[in-house]
């Protein structure tokens, strides 16, 4: 237990360092791009433009801007939006992270739940029509990009089935009922990754159910549910858990496109909006949050290993 806590502490420090490095690189690169958000505002006098630049510290040398930014980040302040004056970025991104986390959580449920079910069924019914249907479904699902599934979902559930859905596949203000607004985005985001999990689960289960300890469990007369879940599936999950880190990263980054298509006010939509509006402070903040989320997702996957296999120690 002590070794695990020490490992988690070391990884958290590494995640913090990585997040700072990523945000610093983004900060320096963005400030090399000509122009700023205030150039989009016409009919303003040079005095007004100079006052705005001074308010945000954009008239200072780049080194001084970076030093001020680092000092503010240490205190948890990512600054103000350049477009929406007076709006603090940190509370804004925290609120949008909760929305993105809702979509990502349900997408991850689709990825893991549907992928494991298809993979286990295909392995237990190897070389039968059930196996062929499940494997073909996984191949088709993995071959279709998530944004194509998103557009198809909008067409089917938002147009043809509008009498039943009442357009709830689109974002409505408040996002207070995720069960009626997140199903289609979660399916579009998680289905391609679920197909990959299904294929890997099938291969891992086929290898595991042929091992001696599984044969012994069958020979003892244990129930099929016990043999499959406790003996076969638990050990077959180790290769699956290995890819959950990259898959979670793909879901986090893929939400940029999905949220923009469905109009969900999360980090992804804010990222696209801030880039088009040249609101570089928010762009830096979103990159910072994404870097931290990816690091925490991979850390969570690493912590799951000892739960599945007690032989693994940190």
Tell whether 11 is covered by a domain: no
Q: Which residue has the higher pLDDT, 17 or 161?
A: 17
Band of the pLDDT at 168, cuts 50, 70, 90? low
**The model's pTM:** 0.74
Provide the residue range defining the domain that includes 254. Answer: 92-277
> Where residue 177 falls among pLDDT bands split at 50, 70, 90?
very low
- Between 133 and 221, name the one with better pLDDT: 133
- What is the full DSSP assignment across 133-150? HHHHHHHHHHHS-HHHHH
Number of structural domains (the chain) is 1
Average pLDDT over residues 165-185: 55
104 part of a folded domain: yes
Nearest residue to 292 (alpha-carbon basis) of 46, 11, 40 = 11
Q: Which helix (H) or strand (E) holds 67?
A: helix 62-74
Other residues' Cβ atoms within 10 Å of the Cβ of residue 140: 11
pLDDT at 207: 85
What pLDDT is stored for residue 173 in this prediction? Answer: 46
Average pLDDT, the chain: 78
pLDDT at 161: 64
At residue 102, the pLDDT reads 81
Question: For residue 88, what are the β-bridge partners?
Answer: 80
**pLDDT tens column, 31-68:** 777 666 565 555 566 777 677 777 777 777 778 878 88
How far apart (Å, rounded) are the C-alpha atoms in residues 224 and 232? 10
The answer to the question of residue 145 being in a domain is: yes
Token pair 């479904």 in the structure block, residue: 137
pLDDT tens-digit map of 74-95: 777 777 777 777 778 888 888 8
Lowest mean pLDDT among 1-5, 102-106, 137-141, 170-174: 170-174
Neighbours of 310 (CB within 10 A): 8
> pLDDT digits over 255-292, tens only?
788 888 877 777 887 788 887 777 788 888 888 888 88
Domain-embedded: residue 22? no
* Domain-embedded: residue 78: no
- The mean-pLDDT minimum among 22-36, 40-54, 111-125, 149-163 falls in 40-54
pLDDT band at 176 (very low <50, low <70, confident <90, very high): very low
Position 201 scores a pLDDT of 87
The answer to whether position 57 is within a domain reads no
**CA atoms of 47 and 38, how far apart (whole Å):** 12
Helix 280-308 vs helix 2-30: crossing angle, to nearest 10: 160
The more confidently predicted of residues 277 and 130 is 130
Burial 95-116 (b: 16+ CB within 10 A, else e): ebbebbbbbbebbbebbbebbb
Is 218 among the domain residues?
yes
Condensed to tens digits (0 to 9), the pLDDT of residues 138-157 reads: 888 888 888 888 888 777 77
Residue 214: give its domain's CATH number: 1.10.3720.10
In a domain, 7, yes or no: no
> Interhelix angle for 89-109 vs 234-262, to 10°?
130
């Amino acid at each position: 237990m002590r070794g695990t806590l020490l490992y988690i502490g070391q990884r958290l420090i590494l995640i913090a360092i990585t997040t700072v490095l990523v945000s610093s690189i983004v900060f320096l690169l963005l400030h090399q791009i000509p122009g700023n958000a205030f150039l989009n505002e016409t009919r303003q006098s040079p005095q007004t433009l100079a006052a705005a630049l001074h308010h945000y510290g954009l008239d200072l040398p780049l080194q001084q801007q970076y030093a001020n930014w680092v000092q503010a980040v240490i205190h948890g302040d990512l600054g103000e939006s350049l477009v929406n004056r007076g709006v603090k970025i940190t509370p804004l991104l925290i609120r949008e992270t909760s929305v993105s986390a809702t979509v990502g959580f349900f997408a991850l449920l689709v990825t893991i739940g549907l992928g494991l079910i298809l993979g286990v069924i295909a392995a237990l019914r190897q070389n039968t029509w059930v196996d062929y249907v499940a494997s073909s479904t996984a191949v088709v699902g993995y071959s279709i990009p998530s944004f194509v599934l998103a557009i198809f979902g909008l067409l089917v559930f938002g147009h043809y089935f509008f009498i039943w859905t009442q357009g709830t596949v689109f974002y409505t203000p408040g996002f207070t009922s995720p069960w009626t607004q997140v199903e289609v985005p979660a399916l579009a985001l998680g289905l391609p990754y679920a197909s990959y999990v299904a294929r890997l689960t099938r291969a891992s289960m086929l290898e595991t159910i042929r091992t001696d300890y599984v044969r012994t469990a069958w020979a003892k007369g244990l129930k099929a549910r016990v043999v499959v879940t406790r003996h076969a599936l638990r050990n077959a999950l180790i290769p699956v858990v290995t890819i959950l880190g990259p898959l979670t990263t793909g879901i986090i980054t893929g939400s940029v496109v999905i949220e923009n298509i469905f109009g969900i006010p999360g980090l992804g939509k804010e990222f696209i909006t801030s880039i088009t509006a040249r609101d570089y402070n928010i762009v830096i903040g979103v990159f910072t949050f994404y870097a931290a989320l990816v690091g925490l997702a991979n850390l969570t996957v690493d912590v799951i290993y000892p739960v599945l296999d007690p032989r693994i120690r940190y």
